[in-house]
Amino acid sequence: MDFDQLTLTQAAAALRAGTVKSTALTTEALARAKANADLNAFVTLDEAGALKAAAAFDTTDDKNKPLGGVPLVIKDNIEVAGLPCSAGTPALRDYVPEADAPVVAKLRAAGAIIIGKTSMHELAFGISGYNTAFKTGAEFGVRNAYDRTLIAGGSSSGTGAAIGARIVAGGLGTDTGGSVRVPAALNGCASLRPTIGRYPQEGIAPISHTRDTAGPDGRDHGRRRTARSRDLGSRGGPTCRPEAGADRHREDDVDQSRCRHRNRLPGRHHADEGAGRHGR
């Protein structure tokens, strides 16, 4: 199997056909993540948890799950149970959520294997991915998958770089003003910014309640659809139209789970006012 050319669709199809095991794919993804430590793509690499989940999938061999056994990555402002969720800031370095964000829960239900949390521009408030708080390589900031002297873009920097570097075939980021699209463009992969309200936002560190959304990244547009709305928890299903007035309702639809990150920050950082002036 050519891991450098592997897409989400091909990986899922190979797993369903039994021509490859999830443990093999996950082991390869983890090895590539370690070999590319100079990318600074990861804040947390969950080797033990990922291999346990992959082995469990290989044992049950559930071929009905659309992402069954496929390794993915999650941006570090999206809550994954048991893993730190820093949102790219030292102030939240030790915050470990007890539950998955709904979009993560949907990916797990679809059979995805989460290998780790990806680095990002601090608090998702920028488009360069230059973050001095977290690094695994010699240089600061998430580096470009094709040229380590260049930036990866942001703020979903690590997700874009990990896909561009062929560590994984897909992953999840967030977008307020370009945050899944900019890293995808700079790292040679594809992305989708969904309509506001299409995916649930609970368990994701907020910037702007009228602009924030989770969004998938993949090797290309055709394959990215494997991780789209049926797996991310679209409120109305994969063919739905967004709720009428969804943008207006977002500010009234914020529950306590969305406020956990904000309440943990010293001085309770408020960023909505700058949403129109900064790309994320």
Catalytic residue numbers read 75, 155, 179
Euclidean distance between CA atoms 163 and 175, whole angstroms: 17
Identify which of 125, 123, 105 has the alpha carbon closest to the alpha carbon of residue 114: 105
Distance of alpha carbon 240 from alpha carbon 197, whole angstroms: 11
Tokens of 189: 């992969």
38 in Cβ contact with 51 (< 8 Å): no
**CA geometry: angle at 69 spanning 9 and 193, to 5°?**
50
- The H or E element spanning position 73 is strand 71-75
